[in-house]
Amino acid sequence: MAIFRDYDSSGGRDRSAEDRRRHRQLVEDSIKKNIGNIIAEESIIGKSKDKIIKIPIRGLREYQFIFGKNRPGVVPGTGDEKRGDRYEGAAGSEGQGTGEGAGTAEGEDYYEIDITLEDLVEYLFEDLELPHMERKKFSYIETEKTNKRWGIQRKGIPPRLSKKRSMQERIKRKKMVERSYREMDVEIDNERFPFSEEDLRYHRIKEELRPQSNAVVMCLMDNSGSMYQDKKYLARSFFFLLYQFVKYRYVNVELVFINHTTTAQEVNEDEFFHRSESGGTFISSAYEKALEIIQERYSPEVWNIYAFHCSDGDNWQADTPKAIIKANELCSQCNLFGYGEIRLTGRYYQSSVTILDKFKTSITADNFIAVSIGSKEDIWPAFKQLLTVTDKE
Amino acid sequence: MLEYTIADLEYYNHIIEEAADKFGLDCYPQEFEICNYEDMLSYEAYSGMPSRYPHWSFGKAWERKKTFYRYNLIGLPYEMVINSDPCLAYLMKENTLALQVLTIAHVYGHNDFFKNNRLFKNGTRAEYAPEMFKSHANRISDYIADPSIGYARVERILDAAHALRFQVYRISNEKHLSPDESKKILMDKYYQSELNESPLIKDKKGEGVPDWDKVPLQPEEDILLFLLRYARLSEWEKDIINIVRSEAQYFIPQMETKIMNEGWASFWHYKILNHLNLPQSMHLEFIKRHNQVIASHPGTLNPYHLGFKLFSKLERESEDSRRIFDIREQERDVSFLRRYLDEELCRELNLFEFQKDNDDYVISEISDEPGWKRVRDTLIMNVGLNGIPIIKVKEIGSENNLVLDHEWDGRELLEEYAHHTLKYIARLWGHKVRLRIHGALKVLVSDGD
C-alpha cells in the first residue's frame, strides 16, 4: 500500500531562491556586457525614465556540444506532406531532447525581464569607470530650502506647536501639582487644569539648503535635406545617451534643441527629430544660436554645459572657417563640446573631405571631441570615446 | 477547497495497485507526495530530487518554467516520478480527483519501468538515489563553505562539468575497461595477429609497433573521465567532476528511454483505468485527459503518443501477453523504434522528414513505401544520446595541447556552442584544446578563458 504525504508544510521555503538570484546576477552581468546593443534598440529611445521596459533576455546559455540546424528532423504531419514542399514549422520542431534538460537542440531560452530605463542607465554607467568629472565652481548653487524638524524647543510660533509634547508637559505639571497638594493635605480641585504658557512646546526647525547642481544639454542637429530619417535616428540614440549621462551626474538638467539648415532655430524635442527641411547647411548658424542661448540663459558661471552636434558633415564650403571659429568659442563656454558625424557607410554620396576632418585639425581644445558614427553598433563606442575627453574646468 | 481527501486517493490507489498487480506490473513500493504549484515548480527545476547541489542552471530552469507556465506555453505537469526505491512521485494538489486517479495509475507504469528496464536496472542504483543526491549536495556545499575554495571556484568547475556531462560512452552496459585492461587486449590482439601473419604481408604494411604508452590509447569518448584521469586537477575538483558525472549517469537511462517510458506509463494508465469501472463522470474526464496527454500535434513529436501507439500495437499483435514486458525490459528508444516502428505506424502517424535547404526547410522524405525507413532512421538519429554529437579525445599533442575529433555523420556542430564548450575543456585541461570538426575540414581552438 502506497504512502501518501500531504506536503502542505513546505509552504514557507523557497528552495530555488539562491540559484535564481545567482542566475539573475549572471544575466545582469551579461546585460552589462551587451549594453551597447540594448541601448541602440529603437524601442527604448525616447521613453521616460520610469517606464518599465521589457527586454527579452536570453537565459544564460548552457553550452554543450550540440548539432546545428542542418540536421534533419522527423515530426508528425497531417498526411498531406509532399516531398520537396517547403516546410514552415521547422522552428518549433526542435527539442527532441529528453530528460534532465539535456538540450539536443539549442532551445529557446528567451524570457523577459522587467527593468526600468533608469536601471538600465545605471548599468550603463556603473561599469564605465568614468573619469571624475569636474564640477563647476558654482555647480552647487544652493537653491532649495528644506525645513526639517530638529527637536523641540520652548519658544516658537503657533504653527509649529507640538500638541503631543505640550500635552505631556501639561500632564507632568498636573501630576506634580496633585502630588504637592497631597503632601500639603490640601483638597484637590479637580475641576479645571488649563494649559499654561510653560507647558507649550514647539518644534525646532532646522533650515537646510540643499545643494543643487545644474547642467544643460544642448542638442544641435542638422536637419537639412541630406539628413535622412535613419541618420537622425542614430543622432537621436546618441543624444539620448548624452542626456542620460548628464542626468546621471547632475540634479537639475535642462535640454535645449537646436535645428539648423542654413539658419538655426530653437525647437522642441518633437520638432527636433521630425522636422525636415530642404536647403543647404551652414553649421556656424547652429553654433551661433547655441552661443546666443548660453549668453541669455545658461551662464557658464553657473551652468555645466554639454553641447553636442550631429550632422552628416556636408557643410557649405564657405561656411566652414566661420564654423571652426564658432566651435572654438563654444569650447570655451562648455564643459564639453562634441561633434558627431553620421556617415552611413557606403550608402549615400559623401563628400570626400567632410567637416569632421577639418574640425579634427583645427580645433585643439581639450574638451572637444569629434566622432564618426556609421551604424548603430558605433554608438556605444563613440559615446565611450566622448567620455574620455577631459572636462574643462 | 480540494474536491478529494487523502482517503479518496488511498481508496483509488488501492484498487489501482490491485489492478497493476493483476496485470503483472512489478513495482517498487510507492510513495506519493501531494504538493502545490510552487513545490512542483521547484521539483521540476531540480529534476525531482528533494536535495541537490546549488547551481544557477537550476535557478534558470525554474525561471524558465515559471515563464512558460505564466504564458501558458506549456501546461504544468500533473506528476513527476523519480527513479528511486521506494519510488517517489509528486502529485499536484490542484488536480481534480479524476486526474489524480489517472496520474496514480500512470505513476505505477513508470515505477514498473524503472524497476525492470535494463538500463535502469544496470545503470542506476534506485535504492540510493535520493541519498546520493543529498550527499552530492552536502559535498558541494562543503566546498563552497571552504574558505580556500569558495563559491566562484566551485561554480567554474560545475559550469565546465555540466557542459561535458553527456559526452559519455554510447554503448551502456558494456563493461568499461580501464586503460590498462584495454591496453592488454589491444596488445594481445596485435601480437596475436603478428604471429599469424606471414612476414611478407607484414613488410607490406610497413608499420612500426604501436605506441603502447600513447594517451589515450584509443580515442576516448567520455571526456570527463579522460580529464579525471589525465588532467592536473585537485582532489576537490575531481570530486565535483565525479559528482556531475555520476548524476548524469543517473539521468541518462531516462534520456535513452523517454518514448518507451512515457509510452509504457500511458499504456498502463489507460488499461488500468478502463479496467476499474469508474463512475461515468469520472470516466469521461479521464478519457478527455488521456486524449490530451497522448495527443499528437503536427510539427511536434509527442513521446507519450508515439510510445503509447507502439505499445498498444505490440500488445494487439502479440500472442504472448508477456512479450511487451520483455520489450520494456530489454529495449531503449533507439532499438525500440528500430525493431517496432513499422511502415504502417509511420504512415498512421504521418511522420515525415524535413531538412534545411539554404534558409528554408523542405520536406525531404515522407512515410510511404520507399521513404518510411529513412524517416524512421532519421527519427532514431534524433532520440536520446543520438541527438548529442560524439566528440572523442584523440591525443595529447605537442605542448600538451589536447586534440579532439568530432565524429562526423553529416550533421554539423553548432559552432558557437562548440567553441564555448571547448573553452570549458581547456579550463579543466589547463592547456590549449583543438577540435577537428566537419570531417576535419575545420579546427576550433581554445585556450580557455
| 8 Å CB contact of B46 and A5 | no
**B332 shares a domain with B412:** no
Assess if residue B187 is contained within a domain: no
Report the SS3 class of residue A258. Answer: strand
| 8 Å CB contact of A23 and B60 | yes
Cell numbers linked to B260: 518507451
Interface test with A, best of B10, B111, B352, B404 (most A CBs within 10 A): B352
| B198, amino acid identity | S
A32 contact partners, CB below 8 Å, separation of at least 6: A123, A126, A127
Assess if residue B214 is contained within a domain: no
Q: Give the pLDDT band of residue B8 (cuts 50, 70, 90).
A: very high
| Closest residue in chain B to residue A21, using alpha carbons only | B59
Query: What is the total residue count of chain A?
Result: 393
Cell numbers linked to B76: 504544468
**B155 shares a domain with B48:** no
CA distances from A388 to A133, A199, A243, B67 (A): 11, 63, 17, 41
Residues of A in contact with B9 (CB under 8 A): 4
Tally of domains within chain B: 4
| 8 Å CB contact of A5 and B32 | yes
| 8 Å CB contact of B32 and A75 | no
Residue A140 pLDDT exceeds 70: no
Comparison of pLDDT for B308 and A215, the residue scoring more:
B308
What does pLDDT average to over chain B?
Answer: 90
- Residue in the structure block whose three cell numbers are 525646532: A204
Q: Give the pLDDT band of residue A98 (cuts 50, 70, 90).
A: very low
List the single residue in A3, A67, A74 with the smallest CB-CB distance to B353: A74
Give this complex's ipTM: 0.91
Instruction: Give me the mean pLDDT over the A338-343 stretch.
Output: 87
**B132 shares a domain with B248:** yes
Task: Say how far apart CA A294 and CA B298 lie, in whole Å.
Answer: 67
**Residue A4 contacts B where some CB pair is shorter than 8 Å:** yes
Task: Say how far apart CA A160 and CA A158 lie, in whole Å.
Answer: 5
List the single residue in A7, A61, A65 with the smallest CB-CB distance to B388: A65
Assess if residue B175 is contained within a domain: no
Q: Which of B269, B370, B46, A111 is nearest to B278 (CA)?
A: B269
| 8 Å CB contact of A102 and B388 | yes
**Residue A76 contacts B where some CB pair is shorter than 8 Å:** yes
| 8 Å CB contact of B62 and A73 | no
Cell numbers linked to B120: 535502469
CA angle B261, B267, B273 (to 5 degrees): 130
List the single residue in B6, B58, B424 with the smallest CB-CB distance to A4: B6
Residue A94 pLDDT exceeds 90: no
Q: What CATH superfamily classification does A213-387 receive?
A: von Willebrand factor, type A domain (3.40.50.410)
Report the SS3 class of residue A294. Answer: helix
pLDDT at A93: 38
Could you report the per-residue pLDDT of A198-226, keeping only the tens digit for each? 888 888 877 665 555 788 889 999 888 77
CA distances from B260 to A3, B60, B79, B268 (A): 27, 28, 17, 12
The 3-state secondary structure of A170-211, one letter per residue: HHHHHHHHHHHHHHCCCCCCCCCCCCCHHHCCEEEEEEEEEE
Interface test with A, best of B361, B369, B391 (most A CBs within 10 A): B361
Instruction: Give me the mean pLDDT over the B7-28 stretch.
Output: 96
Residue A56 pLDDT exceeds 60: no
DSSP state of A136: P
User: To which H or E segment does residue A337 belong?
Assistant: strand A336-342
CB-CB contact of B86 with B130 (8 Å): no
CB-CB contact of A105 with A96 (8 Å): yes
Q: What count of other Cβ atoms lies within 10 Å of the Cβ of residue B215?
A: 13
Could you report the per-residue pLDDT of A345-388, keeping only the tens digit for each? 654 455 566 788 888 888 888 888 888 888 777 777 788 787 77
Report the SS3 class of residue A308. Answer: strand
Report the SS3 class of residue A80. Answer: coil
**B411 shares a domain with B374:** no
| Closest residue in chain A to residue B414, using alpha carbons only | A68
pLDDT at A210: 52
Residue A189 pLDDT exceeds 90: no
Residues of B in contact with A105 (CB under 8 A): 387
Give all strands of the β-sheet with B433-437 in edge-to-edge order: B391-396, B402-406, B433-437, B442-446
Instruction: Give me the mean pLDDT over the B100-126 stretch.
Output: 95
CA distances from B306 to A155, B116, B290, B381 (A): 89, 21, 14, 16
List the single residue in B41, B356, B363 with the smallest CB-CB distance to A84: B363
CA angle A92, A96, A99 (to 5 degrees): 125
| 8 Å CB contact of A4 and B163 | no
Q: What count of other Cβ atoms lies within 10 Å of the Cβ of residue B143?
A: 22
Residues of A in contact with B38 (CB under 8 A): 14
| Closest residue in chain A to residue B382, using alpha carbons only | A96
CA angle A351, A352, A358 (to 5 degrees): 100
Assess if residue B197 is contained within a domain: no
The 3-state secondary structure of chain B, one letter per residue: CCCCCHHHHHHHHHHHHHHHHHHCCCCCCEEEEEECHHHHHHHHHCCCCCCCCCCHHHHHHHHHHHHHHHCCCCCCCCEEEECCCCEEEEEECCCCHHHHHHHHHHHHHHHHHHHHCHHHHHHCCHHHHHHHHHHHHHHHHHHHHCCCCHHHHHHHHHHHHHHHCCCCCCCCCCCCCCHHHHHHHHHHHHHHHHHHCCHHHHHHHCCCCCCCCCCCCCCECCHHHHHHHHCCCCHHHHHHHHHHHHHHHHHHHHHHCHHHHHHHHHHHHHHHHHHCCCCHHHHHHHHHHHHHHCCCECCECCHHHHHHHHHHHHHHHCCCCCHHHHHHHHCCHHHHHHHHCCHHHHHHCCEEEEEEECCEEEEEEECCCCCHHHHHHHHHHCCHHHHCCCEEEEEECHHHCEEEEECCCCCCECHHHHHHHHHHHHHHHCCCEEEEECCCCEEEEECCC
Cell numbers linked to A309: 552636434
Q: What count of other Cβ atoms lies within 10 Å of the Cβ of residue B156?
A: 16
**B249 shares a domain with B142:** yes
CA A145 to chain centre: 27
CB-CB contact of B304 with B339 (8 Å): no
Task: Say how far apart CA A345 and CA A202 lie, in whole Å.
Answer: 71
| 8 Å CB contact of B350 and A76 | yes
Residues of A in contact with B36 (CB under 8 A): 7-8, 10-11
Give whichever of A69-78, A189-198, B181-190, B373-382 has the largest mean pLDDT. Answer: B373-382
pLDDT at B75: 63
CA distance, residue B203 to nearest chain A CA (Å): 42
| 8 Å CB contact of B31 and A18 | no
Instruction: Give me the mean pLDDT over the A50-74 stretch.
Output: 76
| 8 Å CB contact of A67 and B365 | no
List the single residue in B58, B64, B379 with the smallest CB-CB distance to A19: B58
List the single residue in A63, A67, A96 with the smallest CB-CB distance to B301: A96
Residue B103 pLDDT exceeds 50: yes
What residues does A371 pair with on adjacent strands? A340
Assess if residue B348 is contained within a domain: yes
Residues of A in contact with B379 (CB under 8 A): 74
CB-CB contact of B88 with B100 (8 Å): no
**Residue A105 contacts B where some CB pair is shorter than 8 Å:** yes
Q: What count of other Cβ atoms lies within 10 Å of the Cβ of residue A51?
A: 11
| 8 Å CB contact of A89 and B299 | yes
**B233 shares a domain with B137:** yes
| 8 Å CB contact of A64 and B164 | yes
CA A116 to chain centre: 9
| 8 Å CB contact of B349 and A76 | yes
Which phi and psi (to 5°) does residue A65 adopt? -75, 120
Residue A42 pLDDT exceeds 70: no
- Residue in the structure block whose three cell numbers are 579522460: B226
Q: Provide, rounded to the nearest whole percent, the portion of chain A with pLDDT above 70.
A: 69
User: To which H or E segment does residue A232 belong?
Assistant: helix A229-249
Residue B328 pLDDT exceeds 90: yes
B184 contact partners, CB below 8 Å, separation of at least 6: none
Instruction: Give me the mean pLDDT over the A67-77 stretch.
Output: 90
Could you report the per-residue pLDDT of B375-409, keeping only the tens digit for each? 999 999 999 999 999 999 999 988 999 999 999 88
Instruction: Give me the mean pLDDT over the B129-136 stretch.
Output: 96
Which phi and psi (to 5°) does residue B164 adopt? -110, 0
**B239 shares a domain with B267:** no
Q: Which domain holds residue B411?
A: 389-446
Residues of A in contact with B366 (CB under 8 A): 77, 81-83
Q: Give the pLDDT band of residue B178 (cuts 50, 70, 90).
A: confident
**Residue A74 contacts B where some CB pair is shorter than 8 Å:** yes
Q: What is the maximum alpha-carbon separation in chain B?
A: 88
| Closest residue in chain B to residue A3, using alpha carbons only | B31
| 8 Å CB contact of B382 and A106 | no
| 8 Å CB contact of B30 and A3 | yes
pLDDT at A175: 84
Cell numbers linked to B31: 510513495
Q: Give the pLDDT band of residue A146 (cuts 50, 70, 90).
A: low
- In chain A, ranges of CATH 3.40.50.410 domains: 213-387
Of B235, B255, B275, the position where a domain reaches its end is B255
> pTM score, two decimals?
0.70
The 3-state secondary structure of A282-293, one letter per residue: CHHHHHHHHHHH
pLDDT at A100: 32
Crossing angle between the packed helical segments B258-275 and B6-23, to the nearest 10 degrees? 100
What does pLDDT average to over chain A?
Answer: 75
Task: Say how far apart CA B416 and CA B420 lie, in whole Å.
Answer: 6
A–B CB contacts, 8 A cutoff, strictly below: 267
List the single residue in B34, B64, B371 with the smallest CB-CB distance to A4: B34
CB-CB contact of A350 with A319 (8 Å): no
Residues of B in contact with A88 (CB under 8 A): 361
